[in-house]
Structure 1
Amino acid sequence: MFKLAKSCVGMLLAASMTLPAVAAETKGETAAPVEAPKVYEVEKAGTFGGEKVKYKAIAGETHLKNDKGEATASIFSTTYLRTDLKSNAERPVFFIFNGGPGSASLWLHLGVYGPKRVVLPSDAEDDGAAPYRLEDNPLSILDMADMVFIDPVGTGYSRAIGKGDGKDFWGIENDAQSIAEFIRLWLVKHKRWNSPKYLSGESYGTTRAAALLHELQGGWSDIAINGVVFISSILDFQTARYQPGNDTPYISYLPTMAATAWYHGKVDKAGRTLEGFIDEVRAFTLGDYASALLQGNRLDESEFNAVAAKLAAYTGLSEQYVKNANLRVNNMRFMKELLRNEGKTVGRLDSRFVGEDYEGTGERFDNDPSGYGIDAAYTAGIYQYMQNDLGVDIERRYEVLSGKPGRHWAEPRKRGYSEGYPNVAPFVGTAMRENKDLRTMVANGYYDLATPFFASENTFNANGIDTSRVWFTYYEAGHMMYVHQPSIEQLVKDIRTFIRGE
């Protein structure tokens, strides 16, 4: 039976669920009453990693408070604790979150780690309409580690409350501080201070993970982290911001463009393997291509033409198109151009996906086919799972991927000029120097045109990071490589290997 855990004594009377949350006290008004946190617990069992496991699932809210003890935010999380062991005091705990920065944790929850998984067509087909497949996930690591899925403020069911305002939490530093405080409160509640601790983030969640290393390990109240699983990482935003004068993204994205052209049959595969082809493109990118971009107008015509010919051969684009772009094709234009003559466009999150736009002469696709190709299934999946499996009866909207936090994020991302490029990668280097046991795994999809694998390689091979403690893994899928069955199987195998320290 589902049970709603008793609320803490002394909490204010609950406000109506139909009223919007008042984020902060305004002049002449008082803040709305704060509801007591809702928590739902259920006992479950399943088979994970070939082992039968009994566990407790706890879905609910944790209140963050200011220095005056006033509630400022309600963080919704889902915790899985194995219950059939004599002691779990030294059992690993994974703290898991997604990106956005306005994304809830449902993707990694129902895609990789959780006891249930949304199963999609493995060959990059659109998810269509319900019913979708929400099935037991035997690949879950629950046999090896306890897990906590965290939704930051403005995502999932999490929100600012009482004296808080959403903008108080929307920025790299403020976001990391709030999640670090949540982790501290979780460790206090569950008495797990001496358990090995891991972080796992995807996309902007990897930015959060690096910032969290700084918040958790950066002072005397040190919460040391054993390992971080970075999935589809972006730590240095200079690698992904196409702005005048910044040639870094063209270097970052070229190997992924080449992999995409390979997948869609636009390059010569004779005598090559995908890995060998990508190695060839890496060498060209770091050599002749980077040199050409750096030379700018100093590049003579013959060198320009030679580089353009290579670019065309690797990307499947015409030489004239590459020349017209001055050797600089951004990822959005590439997605539209590669299959333009076939009336198709390729995906950004996963370039295996193919879509059709309203018309074929545009510069960008109408929408990302690898986004609308999976979102309905995950949205239906998280609601069904929360309500039917965990007994969560919260009626307010579950924010799957909200643009609101991003629009109000402290670090602006404006087009056309630079406001500075956030780079949290040095935090990883510092954390490694100050924690000899910290290891990282960096999981990459070859067909990820959002956070390309070469950008991750370049970032982790700089910024003071000890690459002897970095393990790069690769999968023949995209940003969410776990929607591809062979990739999810290999990804989880790699994560298990990482946990074991092998």
Structure 2
Amino acid sequence: MPKGKSVSQMSLEKMGASLVFPAILVLLCISTSPVAAQESAASEDRLPDDSPIVSHHQITVSGKPLSYTARAGFLSLFTDARELKARMFYVSYSLDRPKNAAPRALTFAWNGGPGSPAATLHLAILGPKRAKTMDEYKSPPPPYEIVDNEDTWLNFTDLVLVDPVGTGYSYPAKTDYLKEFWNVAGDIDSIGEFIRIYQSHYDVSDAPLFICGESYGTIRAAGLTKVLADRRIPLSGVILISMGGLIRGLSANDDLSAALIIPSYTATAFFHKKLAADLQTDFQTTLRYSETWAQSDYVVALVKGDRLTSSERDAVVQQLARFTGLDPAFVAKTNLRISVDQFARQLLRDRGLELGHYSADLTSKLPPDNVPYDVWSDPSLVSNGVAALIVPYLRSELGFRSDARYAGPWGGGWPSPKTPRGDWTYQRFDFGPTGWNFTVFQDLADTMRRNQSLRVFVAHGYYDFVTPYFAAEYAISHMGLDPALRRNVLLKNYFGGHSMYTEKPTLTRMSNDVGEFIRTTTPAKRPTPSVQ
């Protein structure tokens, strides 16, 4: 087991009361309590110690040894006047290679929320180690196991896992500074500054740069493309896992929202064998039928609304029941729009089961009808041991030791609140009930026009109701890209939910796909991206 240096006295052990960071879009994220702001950091006589804890490791991948160097530590964010604003925690992995080797791809990654650290991506798919039980959505009694990750992205890119300010071990220098980071623009800008500092600190500005975000992290990544372009930092590729914010801003009666989720219902009904026999034969063929109907006859019927004749409405009811696997009698009572809550409780009602919203292939016991959906008990948000593993992993495997809380989205801070907080992170970010109308995907489109070698990889799970895969296809097809640029966007759908890589077969397939994406984006003959 590698030995690391002790964390400096400027570490998070000094922190005071915690700040809760619950999440709305994160799935399978960390459930440990949040980290607190360190009031005294900026007033110390010396600047914080940004020297990382360095350790060396080796795993076996496809029968071959993979030797790498890990670094765990902080980088400090300062204003131009050298005022300390925040310290951001990261873990990086770099493949051990000769000093004169050509620059290797470098990928910065984070999870979503907002309010989640990068631990799920870290210990489920990207890093050289992973939680053993991630493919089962089950957490056995401790001790939990870490195993070598044969599908690690370190095979094809060096990695930096970043905890945004207020998550993980990252913290603002003063509590008053939180408002500068807890908003869409400030959050994005801080990650951009972190990347700039990291490139300078480790002299890796010539490495092909990739960024990767999951869920809300895709919003962060899309907006970051513009920030990096404005700072003249060349970007080679963007990896978006479960694109967030696509339909959340639409009202419950919105026709587009109702249509875009139908194929996800169909995929889920297929998985649970609830469709008619002719639709249970071939998965992809059935999805094409569902997609075609949802964006044609179904949308037209929703637009007509009360103008539908009785026979027209009956026909829509029958088709909607056919593509969702629901009882036509139930569908007839829904005003032709089936909410996620309704579908999740109705599809397997005969078995006494409720579907997970984030991964509908998973189920839990059906609650009484008068009990509303409870995100805390959603089976697809079980953390699979990651919450219990991340801190021991940092301490024992990487040698980074701290008694501070590793901040996750689900509360549990100290001292405990006396009354319910009701402080979902989207409220802290001032999103509000209709605040999901982001412009960052237009920023991504604009950046692709400025940097025409920029490539985008989009991954979605078929069984995800929070960020439906067909909504991503809709969003991409409405970015206003010309055909040449449209070819720079690669969309891949996988069996699984919001964090589809928790299924081992999908983990392998997705890692292979991303590896191919990065390798074809950065061949030796490909020019360095330019920013205009």
Global fold match (TM > 0.5): yes
Partner of 1:431: 447
Write out aligned runs for 1:373-388 (5 A): 373=382, 375-388=383-396
SS in 2 for 1:324: coil
Task: Show the counterpart of 1:445.
Answer: 461
Match of 1:458 in 2: 474
The within-5 A match list for 1:72-471 is 72-87=85-100, 90-120=103-133, 122=135, 124-162=136-174, 165-217=177-229, 219=230, 221-234=231-244, 236-237=245-246, 239-241=247-249, 243-244=251-252, 246-270=254-278, 272-365=281-374, 367-373=376-382, 375-402=383-410, 406-414=425-433, 418-419=434-435, 421-465=437-481, 466-471=485-490
Give the residue type in structure 2 aligned to 1:457. E
Corresponding residue of 2:14: 17
Unaligned runs of 5+ in 1: none
Q: Report deviation, 1:41.
A: 1.2
Which deviates further from its counterpart, 13-22 or 56-65? 13-22
Q: In structure 1, what is the Cα distance between the partners aligned to 2:124 and 2:172?
A: 27
By how many angstroms is 1:103 displaced? 0.9
What does residue range 57-68 of structure 1 map to in structure 2 within 5 Å? 57-68=70-81
Task: Tell me: higher relative CO, structure 1 or 2? Use CA pairs within 8 A at least 6 residues apart.
Answer: 2
In 1, Cα distance between equivalents of 2:313 and 2:439:
32
Q: What whole-Å deviation, never above 9, does each CA across 1:388-441 have from its counterpart, x for those lacking one? A: 101121111112324667145434132xxx356223211121111111211111
Task: Look up the match of 2:528.
Answer: none
1:47 is matched with: 60
Matched residue type, 1:57: A
What amino acid sits opposite 2:472 in the alignment?
A: S
What code does the residue aligned with 1:486 have? P
Which amino acid counterpart does residue 98 of structure 1 have in structure 2?
A: N
Q: Which runs of 5+ in 2 are unaligned?
A: 19-35, 412-422, 522-532
Provide closer, same or farther for how the CA distance between residues 182 and 49 of structure 1 changes in structure 2, counting only shifts above 3 A: farther
Structure 1 residues 366, 182: closer, same or farther in 2, change over 3 A? closer
CA shift, 1:121, in A, is 6.3
Instruction: Name the SS of the counterpart of 1:272 in structure 2.
Output: coil
**Is the alpha carbon distance of 1:308 and 1:178 closer, same or farther for their aligned partners in structure 2, counting shifts above 3 Å?**
same
Whether the 8 Å contact between 2:236 and 2:455 is mirrored in structure 1 is yes
Quick one: structure 1 residues 420 and 473, their matched pair in 2 at CA, closer, same or farther if it must change by over 3 Å?
closer
Q: Is the 8 A contact 2:460 2:492 kept in 1?
A: yes
Match of 1:71 among 61, 81, 84: 84
Q: Is the 8 A contact 2:169 2:407 kept in 1?
A: yes
- Residue identity in the other structure for 2:457: M
Cα deviation per residue 1:4-49 (whole Å; 9 max; x = unaligned)?
3897xxxx97786253488598xxx997658544631111122345
Q: Give, in whole Å, the separation in 2 of the partners of 1:354 and 1:496.
A: 32
Distance in 2 between residues matched to 1:439 and 1:98, nearest whole Å: 20
Closer, same or farther: CA 276–176 of 1 in aligned 2, 3 Å? same
Report if the CA contact (8 A) 1:94-1:199 is conserved.
yes
Q: CA deviation at 1:144?
A: 2.1
CA distance in structure 2 between the aligned counterparts of 1:366 and 1:24, rounded to whole angstroms: 31
Would the aligned equivalents of 1:40 and 1:391 in 2 still touch at CA under 8 Å? Answer: yes
Verify the 8 A CA contact 1:17 1:395 in the aligned structure 2. no
Asked if structure 2 preserves the Cα contact closer than 8 Å seen for 1:340 and 1:360, the reply is no
Distance 1:308 1:362, change over 3 A: farther
Contact 1:77 1:150 in 2 (8 A): yes
Q: State how far apart, in whole Å, the 1-side matches of 2:12 and 2:298 are.
A: 60
Distance in 2, Cα, partners of 1:30 & 1:475: 44
Q: Distance in 1 between matches of 2:121 and 2:93?
A: 14
1: CA distance, partners of 2:51 / 2:111: 22
- Residue by residue over 1:162-216, the C-alpha shift from the partner in whole angstroms, topping out at 9 and shown as x without a partner, is 3752221112211110000000000001111111000111111111110100110
Q: Distance in 2 between matches of 1:30 and 1:49?
A: 45
SS in 2 for 1:440: strand
Q: SS where residue 492 of structure 2 aligns?
A: strand
Do structure 1's residue 2 and structure 2's residue 3 form an aligned pair?
yes
Q: 1:118 to 1:358 in 2, by over 3 A?
A: same
Partner of 2:22: none
SS at match of 2:487: helix
d(CA) in 2 for partners of 1:231, 1:273: 26
Letter in 2 for 1:2: K
CA RMSD of aligned residues (A): 2.6
Structure 1 residues 348 and 383: alpha-carbon distance in aligned structure 2, compared to 1, 3 A threshold: same
| TM-aligned CA distance change 1:155 to 1:38, over 3 Å | farther
Match of 1:482 among 501, 511, 532: 501
Report the Cα offset of residue 161 of structure 1: 1.3
Query: Which whole-Å CA distance do the structure 1 matches of 2:386 and 2:407 have between them?
Result: 12
Change over 3 Å in CA distance of 1:410–1:53 after alignment to 2? same
Give the Cα separation in 2 of the matches to 1:410 and 1:121: 30
Paired letter, 2:164: P
Any conservation in 2 of the 1:71–1:162 contact (CA below 8 Å)? no
Deviation at 1:81, TM superposition (A): 1.5
TM-score between both structures, scaled by the size of structure 1: 0.90
148-157 or 14-23: bigger deviation: 14-23
The 2-side partners of 1:290 and 1:96 are apart by 37
Deviations 1:357-390 (A, max 9, x none): 44355453564433443x1511112122111101
CA distance in 1, matches of 2:199, 2:62: 26
TM-score computed with the length of structure 2 as normaliser = 0.85
Shift of 1:120: 2.2
Change (3 A) 1:37 1:357: farther
Farther-moved stretch of structure 1 (296-305 vs 354-363) = 354-363
Q: Report if the CA contact (8 A) 1:94-1:198 is conserved.
A: yes
